């Protein structure tokens, strides 16, 4: 997305560009032009980004494998994420990936978390990926009671095309100690498979909403003036 008719310093935010003014004028998103003084512009944009900071502060706690550390491969020694989340049912999520063949040898991920015992859990998940041959990708997430090893639920894709994605929900009753193990696995050669489990916020969407709000307020001020 391209902002037009603006002069000043540009900063890319998500998929849009916000131009901070040097002459009291800027354009944002779909070519919306707003004319006001620099002080008002900066104050309103500052308020929008302050709102974003508050939103992020109250957002989900997310473990991202790419930045927080590789999740365990062996089934018998899953990564302990109990201290990372506290209660995984409360706005928590995991972002990870597995790869095979020409893409790597990270064939599976295993981790366990703490949840409220003996309650109905509904955990969203998603898969996306691509393979060398551009064919079907088969990826799975299975949920177990960590301590006893009892099977709780299986979330499997019936196969999705390389370059696409699927999403669904894992519904199960948490075990008596609340310890739940997730196993992410695959049956695809030469592929990279990404996944999310739990609540993973879409930060880019929040940014666009807040910046759009600032633009709308500025436009209203112009109309009233």
Lowest mean pLDDT among 171-175, 190-194, 201-205, 211-215: 211-215
Q: With 90 as the cut, is the pLDDT of residue 68 above it?
A: yes
* Mean pLDDT calculated for residue range 22-48: 45
Lowest mean pLDDT among 49-53, 132-136, 144-148, 160-164: 49-53
Q: Are strands 139-145 and 120-131 parallel, antiparallel or unpaired?
A: unpaired
* Backbone torsions φ then ψ of 65, nearest 5 degrees: -60, -35
pLDDT digits (tens, 9 = 90+) for 3-25: 444 444 444 444 444 444 444 44
Higher pLDDT, 222 or 112: 112
Instruction: List domains and CATH numbers for the chain.
Output: 8-58+203-224 (no CATH), 62-198 (2.60.120.380)
Gap between the Cα atoms of 78 and 56, Å rounded: 29
Gap between the Cα atoms of 59 and 147, Å rounded: 30
Give me the residue label for tokens 């499997």. 156
The predicted pLDDT at position 35 comes to 43
Lowest mean pLDDT among 98-107, 133-142, 191-200, 204-213: 204-213
The predicted pLDDT at position 89 comes to 94
The predicted pLDDT at position 60 comes to 74
Residue 210 three-state SS? helix
Gap between the Cα atoms of 182 and 142, Å rounded: 6
The predicted pLDDT at position 42 comes to 52
- What is Dmax (Cα atoms) for the chain? 69
The predicted pLDDT at position 186 comes to 92
Q: What is the DSSP letter of 174?
A: P
Residue 177 three-state SS? coil
């Amino acid at each position: 997305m391209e902002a037009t008719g603006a002069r000043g310093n540009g900063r890319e935010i998500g998929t849009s560009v916000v131009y901070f003014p040097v002459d009291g004028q800027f354009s944002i998103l779909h070519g919306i032009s707003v004319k006001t003084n620099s002080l008002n512009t900066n104050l309103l944009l500052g308020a929008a980004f302050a709102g974003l900071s508050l939103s992020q502060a109250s957002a989900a706690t997310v473990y991202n494998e790419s930045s927080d550390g590789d999740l365990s491969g062996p089934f018998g020694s899953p990564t302990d994420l109990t201290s990372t989340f506290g209660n995984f049912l409360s706005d928590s999520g995991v972002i990870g990936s597995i790869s095979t063949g020409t893409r790597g040898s990270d064939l599976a991920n295993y981790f366990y978390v703490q949840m409220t015992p003996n309650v109905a859990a509904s955990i969203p998940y998603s898969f996306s990926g691509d393979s060398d041959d551009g064919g079907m990708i088969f990826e799975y997430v299975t949920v177990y009671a960590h301590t006893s090893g009892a099977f709780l639920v299986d979330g499997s894709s019936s196969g999705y095309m390389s370059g696409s994605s699927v999403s669904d929900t894992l519904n199960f009753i948490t075990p008596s100690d609340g310890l739940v193990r997730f196993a992410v696995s695959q049956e695809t050669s030469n592929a990279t498979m990404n996944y999310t489990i739990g609540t993973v916020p879409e930060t880019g969407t929040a940014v666009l909403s807040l910046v759009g709000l600032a633009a709308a307020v500025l436009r209203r001020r112009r109309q009233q003036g």
